[in-house]
Structure 1
């Protein structure tokens, strides 16, 4: 078994001569909705396909095998209902109306400028005929719309990534802004306040205890009391 884990949408970037020489593989819509499946290509090789989850394989896509060989995908013909406006009194707008009603029922639809295709359903066929549309059974390849919000892979993604949120500019050395000149526009420069100096701790010696008073001449204390 040859492993396949890469898909090129519609053979993008490949020369026509390479596509012409490539092997092919026919896959119905039920298989092409899967990201893991096995199949036989036109050369009889067994393929083990392992694509990213959510991948839809379309007719015209190219699978790339582990040995570098290319395999063109062909939408295998299957039973379908082909819907067209009434040739007598219909208009292209009738297809728009039909697509609206089918979309409300979450029906897979292949949209073409002049017709629609859906998988067989006799109830839907009667509804469409009652809307004066022509419904016929055909055996053709089926590539319905994936839906605007369907999971898309790298091969089929057309979404645009949102711009990244800009990070706030932090001024500092090497930021490329001249902080010595006023350029006429306001730059909010926030500078951290200088740290307050730490208070100096100066040790204070405790005052010496007063010397005991000794009475004597010149002490200015009255000594008129009697001494025994």
Structure 2
């Protein structure tokens, strides 16, 4: 069975979603996509089609529903391979963000670390700059475009 999700809503805090779907950062950028579910669920849904209108974007914890608001799906960030960059020096992290941004890398920025998708060329550059890098499986939340805020 297939469900078509067409809108984002705020779900009453007492109501639980019917289904939770885990998406990578890249998958959360797509407002029109078809997802085949590999796991059996109590609703016998095997395919979820996301068909949001332009101007929307998906974030972890969003709730999507169908046209009649009868079925609710929570979007969650999926664990994915990432490189986490750390340094005792905030200035070194700032310089790393500059160099990664100059290469148009999707980048998660926090006060204590940077995070991006694995790329051995970028990893080597950061090591040469004296930063510590760690291969991890973690949810990835890259910065969204400045015009989407």
Say yes or no: TM over 0.5: yes
Q: Residue 32 of structure 1 aligns with which residue?
A: 28
Q: Residue 16 of structure 1 aligns with which residue?
A: 13
Structure 1 pair 42/131, CA: closer, same or farther in 2 (3 Å)? Answer: farther
Structure 2: distance between partners of 1:97 and 1:60 = 31
Deviations along 1:35-58, whole A, 9 cap, x unmatched? 211223883522111012353311
Structure 1 unaligned spans of 5+: 153-157, 159-228
Higher relative contact order (CA 8 A, sep 6+): 2
Q: Residue 48 of structure 2 aligns with which residue?
A: 47
Pair 1:146 & 2:133 matched = no
Larger Rg: 1
Deviations along 1:89-117, whole A, 9 cap, x unmatched? x3122211111111111100011221111
| TM-score, structure 2 as length reference | 0.84
Total equivalences in the alignment: 141
Q: Residue 175 of structure 1 aligns with which residue?
A: none
Structure 2 unaligned spans of 5+: none
CA-CA distance at 1:28 after TM superposition: 1.4
Which region of structure 1 is more displaced relative to structure 2, 67-76 or 112-121? 67-76
**1:143 is paired with a residue of what secondary structure?**
coil
Structure 2: distance between partners of 1:16 and 1:113 = 30
Pair 1:77 & 2:79 matched = yes
Alignment of 1:105-144 (within 5 A): 105-144=103-142
Cα root mean square deviation, aligned = 1.9
